[in-house]
Amino acid sequence: MRYLLLEYDHPQEDEAKQVYSELDRENRETRRVELYPNGLWFAYGDEHGREEALSPDPFPEDVRTLNIPGEISARTIAPGVFREVWDQAAERPDGFMGMFF
C-alpha cells in the first residue's frame, strides 16, 4: 500500500482542500478521505462504503507529476498519517449530516 496527500491551494467551497488516499499495488485508490474548507469531510471505501466514488484510474507511479505550482501539491505520506486521518473520520458524523451534529 502507498498513501498520498493532495492539497489544493484555492478550492471552491464545494471542492476538497485536502484529499488523503490509500493506493493498492496497482496504484488504484482503495480508501479516501476528503476535507473541505468549511469543515465537512467525506470518507470512501472500506467500512464507509461508497466505493463507486473512488477514482477508477490508477495514480501515476511518481505522484509529483500531479503537482501544479500554485494549484495542487501531491506527495506521499506515512501510513500512520493516513490511519490517523481515517480513524478520526470514523469518529465524526460525516458529510451533510455532520452539519447538524
Q: Is residue 100 part of a domain?
A: no
> pLDDT for 43-78, tens place per residue?
998 776 677 789 889 999 999 999 999 999 999 999
Q: Is residue 22 part of a domain?
A: yes
Confidence (pLDDT) at 13 = 76
Total domains, the chain: 1
Q: Is residue 79 part of a domain?
A: yes
Closest of 75, 10, 1, 89 to residue 42, by C-alpha: 89
Quickly list DSSP for 27-91: S-EEEEEEE-TTS-EEEESGGG--GGGS-SSPPPSSGGGG-BTTTEEEEE--HHHHHHHHHHHHH
Q: Show the domain range for 80.
A: 2-94
Q: Is residue 99 part of a domain?
A: no
Distance CA 101, CA 98 (A): 5
Q: Is residue 65 part of a domain?
A: yes
Q: What is the pTM of this model?
A: 0.85
Q: Is residue 51 part of a domain?
A: yes
